[in-house]
Structure 1
Amino acid sequence: MSSEFKNRNKLRKYKSRENEIFEQRKGRLLRDYNQKWQRKVTKSAKQCEARLARDCERKQRKAVMQKTSNSINTEQRTETVTVLILNKGQK
């Protein structure tokens, strides 16, 4: 009877050790998964931030180009009007 008790006790210890190992593995897997997910989220956020920055820069450059284009057109119109007035005066 005592050998049966010892065997049961050994089995209980073995099972508890097995459960402990299982819990450690499960914890490790969850931690790894969470870290991987966190990296993906961070990477995605950084990419989104970079995309917004690029779009903003592009819009600013476009606005500057538009202003430059408008000022050039205004200068050309002014020159044209001036030339027309001068030509009229020479006739």
Structure 2
Amino acid sequence: MGITFRKETFRDDYTFRNSPEHIRRFPFPFNEDAYMYAVNIEPHVVGPKGSVLENLIDVDEHYVAEMQDRALVLAEDPLRCQSLPHMTLAGWDLL
């Protein structure tokens, strides 16, 4: 996997930008004119090489910066991420 992770921020100077390659990988156009958030639990079908569907889990150029920002958020507000005791294992199952 030849990913070049971008050094970017999501606050203050806000340097987030999508590269032309990342925009080309976006799964567009959508097959309908309406979009609704949903949990689509269905088997993963591998897509064409170079597409967002090529791998089971898609890690893109923003992943490292997003995880750094998440660490800042949780350091400032640890209660931002909470899980009830009976759901902790399910969170790991999802991962």
Higher relative contact order (CA 8 A, sep 6+): 2
Provide TM-score, normalisation by structure 1.
Answer: 0.22
Larger relative helix fraction: 1
Provide TM-score, normalisation by structure 2.
Answer: 0.21
